[in-house]
Structure 1
Amino acid sequence: MPKKIDVSYLIDHLTINDISDLSLMEILTLNLLLKYPKPVVRYTLYLDVKNSLKSKSMETEFTIERDLGGSEARFYKFLIEIKKLSTSSFYHSLTNLEKKGLVRFNRNSSNKIKTVESTKLTRDVVNFIFKSYTSLIIDDFQFEQNLAEEINRRFEKKQFDMAMIIWLKDYIELGLIEFFQTHVNQLYFLGNDSIISNIEKFNIPGLQYSRFHNKMIREPDGIYDLIVLPNYNSNIDISGINRIDLLKEVSRIAKKGGKIILITRSDVELTTNFYANRLLSLYREMIESKGRLFTPRELEEDLKKADLNIIEIFDYQGLLIGLVSAK
């Protein structure tokens, strides 16, 4: 029986690439449109958007060459350029949004656009954009370094011989891989074929690659001192292997007593602040949709199913960390 296609199905299959051609002005338009409980006249929406885009006044009583460097001077000139949003360009953007199904035009008897309103998709798409770009723009590299130092402290070991990082994200974080290289003598990287193909193009010195073969990691038993899964989630399906079978494979290739680190996300506590709760709820929806939301008990159950020896499970500022060893 064919799967029913509804709004939730469409949003579940939405990717950043699908909405990458939307301008910031169009995203702002969608967000402002949601504030209208009824269809709004196009020109009224135009004035609302135009007012939101109003530039701040800037000081002009200084010499650019004297006070600003090359990049800053170019940026200053860019800021003081007169930027006007014309009705024609705004209406063109609305047409672009209407073609995507993100706004709806209501026409009169002469087929002229009378009003515009949001669709069933508008709010979900705006939320998706917020959640996606928030996860991309947060600079957490220093935070991750602090976490690594905390894990080293708990393991009481700062350097490992052979290690493997199992990558379960759709995009690469080179900084994190390079950071791991400073703590191991030899680092192996395992991910899906497309991720490996992409990362090989960077020619990272010293980085070795592993592969899956017949639903198994190709390495022999008991060779790694450390294995890290920095993006552990409940949706794992890599080369036909689910998350529990992957953990069993991790246990197999780890040395007896070898250390294994799983990193996922812990739950979020709401506050008494409406606006903060709105942001926190969007964040929670984002990590839950990616299967990255675990309670300590749920993570413990996964580890027990894979017959791993649990050293410690702890919360670290929003991350849930599982420190285990192979039997």
Structure 2
Amino acid sequence: MNPFASALLAWFDRHGRKDLPWQHPRDAYRVWLSEVMLQQTQVVTVIPYFQRFVTALPSLRDLAAADEDTVLALWSGLGYYRRARFLQRAAQICVEQHGGELPREFDALAALPGIGRSTAGAILAQAHGLRFPILDGNVKRVLTRYLGIHGHPGQSAVEKVLWQHADALTPAERTADYTQAIMDLGASLCARSRPQCDSCPFADSCVAKRDGLTAQLPSSKPTKAIPTRDTVMLILRDAKGRVLLERRGPQGVWSGLWSLPEASDHDGAWRAAQSFARIDDAQALPPFVHVFSHYRLQVEPLLFDAAAAHRAIADNPALRWCDAGERAALGLPAPVRSLLLDL
């Protein structure tokens, strides 16, 4: 075993996380689900979502057979909803083509929707102990600092170098523990800000610590201004307290989720509201901003209370009146769910 892996595993044996819910049992379905949830999301946030998800859908076959609204409702709040759709589509492919199991062959596994090289490696390493490297955000941070690699890790040339090092350092023994260990190190001691270098097992061999570059590595992504978009969200509430929801189209953010109807301005909001229901007045609610990865959404909510639905709404499958209980069972964008809970 190479010296890096030996030192990392010795640290893991003393300080690593061994009680995460997807480690007991550490089967392929649970590892896969955790890996997808952990993309863009921290462990402390993921744990309750994971536990709720596997309670409702304990197996790959359960996920494949579930209604999409159920899957999105379980995912609601984690964001990046395309991950949930890819997760279910991959499960359905596994039922159709792989006997209801995630394949153990790397190429077949990596070919499934939403499973790239790193996620496939993590599943095979942690669930089956097979020697495959991983390269998630935590691992990139550890390797760029330890080896002193400059350049944004998302650039193809830099990423290629990092994959070479990740492969060379991954041991053939205790691969599952090593995979968890390097992720743990990146999430704890080698954190993005204020890394705890003095407690790190590589304090004497890390290039970034030696050269005072922990704040500069990994190199930042070139920045560009994030635009702001404005929208008016319509909250039409009828005499029974139900709110009108509209299923979003297949393109754009929150695709396929149930959300509130929107308009670009107040005039458009009134026209839209009048097309849905008979209304009298509107109340402006406090505006808020929701930040996506590529733009900021400035939201102005308008509440139309005691709205009486036009009969034509019943014939439109993309529109439905829902009470609080019904909304809880649907996939709603997190800011929309919070807005409705505050009413």
Short-chain TM bin? under 0.3
Higher strand fraction (1 or 2): 1
- Answer with 1 or 2: which has the greater Rg: 1
